[in-house]
Chains A and B, each alone.
Chain A
Amino acid sequence: MTVPHKVETDTAAAEVATALRHGPLEHRAAEFERRSASGARGVRLREEPFLTQLDLRTSPGSSSAASVADALGLPLPAANRVSGDEHDAVLWLGPDESLIVAPDGRAESLLRTVRTAQQGGSGSVVDVSANRTTLRLSGPMAREVLEKLCSLDLHPRAFGPGDCAQTLLGRVVVVLWQLDHEPGYRIMVRCSFAEYLADLLLDAMAEFLDG
C-alpha cells in the first residue's frame, strides 16, 4: 500500500501472465473428448489445468500445525488421506508434508493465510502450482483403466473417495486422488510428463471406446 504504483504494475503483470499461459495438455482437449466414452462402460479424460497447489511442511501435532488447520478450516489429513473436497482440499504427502489444493487463482491469498498462521512457529509453505497439471479420469471404467498402469490395490475395499497416494502410473510419479464413487480420480502429474501419461491413459481407455 505504501507503493501503490508497484502494486498496480504487479497486478497488471499477473493478468498478462494469466492471459498468456497454456495448460500442458490444452492442445489435446478435443482429442480427449473424442476418445472419451459415456454409458455403463464409459470412461472420460480431461485436463484440469492451473489448480492452485501449495506444498505445506509442518510438524504433526505442533501448535503451528494446529493453527494452520484452523486457518484453512480443514484438519490436516491422516496418512494417505485427503481432507476437504475437490474445491478446497489438503492431501497427505508424507509424515510432515501436505499439498493444499484449491481452484485457480487462490495461491496468493492461501499463502498469506498459512504464513500468518505459521508465524512464530515452525514450518513452511511454497506455491508449487506450476509443478503439476491435473488430469481428471472418471466414469464406470475409470478404475479398470488405472489398474492397467498402477500397482496399488484400487478396489473399493482398499482405496476409495478421500484416499490419495503418491505412486507410479507406468513410469511416472503422480499424486492419485479418488474424488467420488463413480469413480472419479484426479491425477496430478509433472507438466513435462503430462503428454506421456495422457498417451498411456488414452491407450488404456481405447477398449472402452465402443461401449
Chain B
Amino acid sequence: MLLVRCPWCGDRDEAEFRYGGQADVDYPADPHQLDDAAWGEYLFVRANPAGSFDERWVHTAGCRRWFSLVRDTATNEMRPDIPRRREGR
C-alpha cells in the first residue's frame, strides 16, 4: 500500500485516488492550427522518465480535489508539487 499525500486531507491509502497522468500538458493555444501529427502529439505523447515526474492525481474517495505532485517513477517516492508553477490552475 502506498500512502499518497492529499494537500487537503493528508496521507491516505492509494486506493482513494485516481491517477491523472502527466501534469502541465497545456491545451494548444490554437488547436485549428495543428496538423494531425501535432494534435496526436498533444493528445497521446507523454514523457516517460525513469525518475522525477510531475503528475496529476485526484482524491476521488475523499475531498474529490485535483492536485499535482512529483513522483520518482523508479522508487515511488512522492514529494509535494512546487506551488508557484500551479498558479492560475
A-side residues, CB < 8 A to B, are 79-80, 93-95, 97, 151-152, 165-168, 173
Interface size in chain B (residues, C-beta < 8 A): 14
A168 engages B8 (CB within 8 Å): no
B-side residues, CB < 8 A to A, are 1, 8-10, 12-13, 15-16, 60-65
Contacts A93-B63, A168-B13 known; list 5 others, CB within 8 Å.
Answer: A94-B65, A95-B63, A151-B1, A168-B61, A173-B61
6 examples of A-B residue contacts, CB within 8 angstroms: A94-B63, A94-B65, A97-B63, A151-B16, A152-B12, A165-B62
How far, in angstroms, from A97 to B64 measured CA to CA in the complex? 10
B65 engages A95 (CB within 8 Å): yes
A80 engages B1 (CB within 8 Å): no
Shortest C-beta distance, B12 to chain A (Å), equals 7
Contact of B9 among A79, A97, A151, A168 (CB under 8 A): A79
Cβ contacts under 8 Å, B1 to chain A: 151
How far, in angstroms, from A168 to B17 measured CA to CA in the complex? 11
Residue of B nearest to A171 (CB): B15
B61 engages A80 (CB within 8 Å): no
Residue of B nearest to A168 (CB): B61
A94 engages B64 (CB within 8 Å): yes
Residue of B nearest to A96 (CB): B65
A166 engages B63 (CB within 8 Å): yes
Cβ contacts under 8 Å, A80 to chain B: 9-10
Contact of B13 among A93, A94, A151 (CB under 8 A): A151
B15 engages A166 (CB within 8 Å): no
Indicate the member of B10, B12, B63 with the most A CB atoms within 10 Å: B63
Residue of B nearest to A79 (CB): B8
